[in-house]
Amino acid sequence: MNILFVCTGNTCRSPMAEVILKHKQINNVQVRSAGIYAMPNAEMSAHAQQVLNEANMTHQHSATQLSMAEIEWADLILTMTTAHRDTIIAYYPNTEKKVFTLKEYANEGSLENVVDPYGGNKAIYEATFTELEKLVEQLVKILEKN
């Protein structure tokens, strides 16, 4: 299964979720991330890198702009907010059955958003990392059932 995490700039939330899921090393699961408004090849935010490094999750990342190639590659697209989900469905109507917010998919329908740490201090990034880690754990349980 190919899973694509999507956020705004692909420098904080979606790459952190990507790295967390990759470190679970689940058979037959490929993971990527992209941003709806990403600056291609931008680096992951410094705090996001720092938080991942402290969790011993190293990863080389450069931002990817969401494109038709990414959409077609993905079997499941998990966004950080309902606005991201709705934007993707508006631009790519045929994706409706495979686009969910991460919380909606992992938390049985929750319409809450994953908080955007962009521009915040390290503590905000740590809180986002913890939140993403819990959501990815729930995601893994769902993937293992299917």
Give me 66's structure tokens: 């969401």
- The CA distances from residue 131 to 47, 55, 138, in Å, are 15, 14, 11
Question: Please, are residues 40 and 78 in contact by the beta-carbon 8 Å criterion?
Answer: no
H helix or E strand, kind and range, residue 82: helix 82-91
Q: Which residues are catalytic?
A: 7, 13, 116
- For 94, the 3-state DSSP assignment is helix
Give the amino acid at 54: E
